[in-house]
């Protein structure tokens, strides 16, 4: 049976809770982590740059006793040197898990379809589910139970927003999304999150969206691969910057989240990013803890 993790809702609510619990347990007691990937290879394939995802994944594999093999897309030539399927089959003959960051989500689907070993999405154009796990762990550390808490996502309705919506739906976290016209999360993703039981509100005005929120989240206005749209987007997103005024509308206890990398002066001011409400470094650290728990889970060995 396949244990792919291409989106957060590949986990049931109970599995998601178990992964978050295992991540928290490993964070609290690293000495108790089971080396469930001992003598196993994990292929980490990247078509795009990465700091957090690459290093947190590598260190997660090391903590589980395994050996991470980092590959840039250029090294293997996905669909240029050989097909994604042929690369996947080859990697599966050496490794017990493939994790990949790709431009087109369809490439991940093809990799997953070609092999029996688990495949993990390390970011695609459609989702960033490992990030959402870290975000949920961070919010759980801050709030305890997520049920009934409200997160306001202000910015691009992109891959990060999609995975957050699915993660929120599975944990009872309420999510308010506010994006400039034309940059909203796809209807299909909103419906999918709602069908999972999610309370997802779409609020055009960011000032309204953040009122009473327990936390505000944003991401870059221009994602990797969309750089040619940067100027147009900078203009379209101008009213969606998270600054001290917007944080103030949420209330004095609201936290600020960002998956990073951040562009100070664009989607967030330096004041907010560096301010007391910001938990971005906690989120970044948690990438490693959730990656470790997730890799153990998809390998069938969460304990």
Given the rule CB under 6 A, which residues bind ligand CP?
A: 50-53, 123, 131, 259-261
Which partner from the list ligand CP, ligand NVA, none does 199 bind, CB cut-off 5 to 8 Å by kind?
none
Nearest CA-CA partner of 96 in 72, 130, 61: 61
179 is an interface residue for ligand NVA by CB under 6 A? no
Strand order across the beta sheet in which 67-72 lies? 67-72, 41-46, 97-101, 119-121
Which residue's Cβ lies closest to ligand NVA? 223
Catalytic residue among 110, 126, 128, 192: 128
246, 196 in Cβ contact below 8 A? Answer: no
Which partner from the list ligand CP, ligand NVA, none does 51 bind, CB cut-off 5 to 8 Å by kind?
ligand CP
135 is an interface residue for ligand NVA by CB under 6 A? no
Minimum CB separation of residue 244 from ligand NVA in Å reads 24
Query: What letter would DSSP give residue 44?
Result: E
Which partner from the list ligand NVA, ligand CP, none does 158 bind, CB cut-off 5 to 8 Å by kind?
ligand NVA
Query: What letter would DSSP give residue 196?
Result: T
Which partner from the list ligand CP, ligand NVA, none does 159 bind, CB cut-off 5 to 8 Å by kind?
ligand NVA
Out of 11, 170, 200, 220, the residue judged to bind ligand NVA by CB under 6 A: 220
Name which of 44 and 123 has its Cβ closer to ligand CP.
Answer: 123
69, 41 in Cβ contact below 8 A? Answer: yes
Name which of 203 and 260 has its Cβ closer to ligand CP.
Answer: 260
Residue 95: which residues within 8 A CB-CB, separation 6 or more? 40, 41, 42, 43, 69, 117
Which residue's Cβ lies closest to ligand CP? 53
Q: DSSP secondary structure string, 108-154?
A: HHHHHHH-SS-EEES--SS--HHHHHHHHHHHHHHHS--TT-EEEEE
Residues serving a catalytic function are 101, 128, 131, 219, 259, 287
| Interacting residues with ligand NVA (CB under 6 A) | 123, 128, 158-160, 219-220, 223-224, 259
């Amino acid at each position: 049976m396949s244990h792919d993790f291409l989106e957060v809702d590949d986990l049931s609510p109970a599995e998601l809770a178990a992964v978050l619990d295992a991540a928290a347990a490993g964070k609290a007691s690293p000495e108790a982590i089971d080396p469930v990937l001992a003598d196993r290879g994990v292929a980490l394939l990247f078509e795009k740059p990465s700091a957090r995802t690459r290093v947190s994944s590598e260190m997660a594999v090391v903590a589980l006793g395994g050996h991470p093999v980092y590959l840039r897309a250029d090294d293997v030539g996905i669909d240029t040197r050989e097909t994604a399927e042929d690369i996947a089959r080859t990697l599966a003959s050496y490794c017990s898990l493939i994790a990949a960051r790709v431009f087109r989500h369809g490439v991940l689907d093809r990799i997953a379809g070609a092999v029996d070993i688990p495949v993990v999405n390390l970011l695609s154009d459609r989702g960033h589910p490992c990030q959402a796990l870290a975000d949920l762990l961070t919010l759980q550390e801050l709030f305890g139970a997520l049920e009934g808490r409200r997160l306001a996502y202000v910015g691009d309705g992109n891959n990060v927003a999609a995975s957050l919506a699915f993660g929120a739906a599975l944990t009872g976290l309420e999510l308010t999304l506010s994006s400039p016209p034309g940059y909203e999360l796809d209807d299909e993703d909103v419906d999918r999150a709602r069908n999972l039981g999610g309370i997802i509100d779409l609020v055009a005005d960011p000032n309204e969206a953040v009122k009473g929120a327990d936390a505000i989240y944003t991401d870059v206005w221009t994602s990797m691969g969309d750089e040619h749209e940067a100027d147009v987007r900078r203009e379209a997103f101008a009213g969606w910057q998270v600054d001290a005024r917007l944080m103030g509308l949420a209330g004095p206890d609201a936290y600020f989240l960002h998956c990073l990398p951040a562009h100070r002066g664009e989607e967030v001011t330096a004041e907010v990013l560096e301010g007391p409400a910001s938990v971005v470094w906690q989120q970044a650290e948690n990438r490693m803890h959730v990656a470790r728990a997730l890799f153990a889970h998809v390998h069938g060995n969460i304990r």
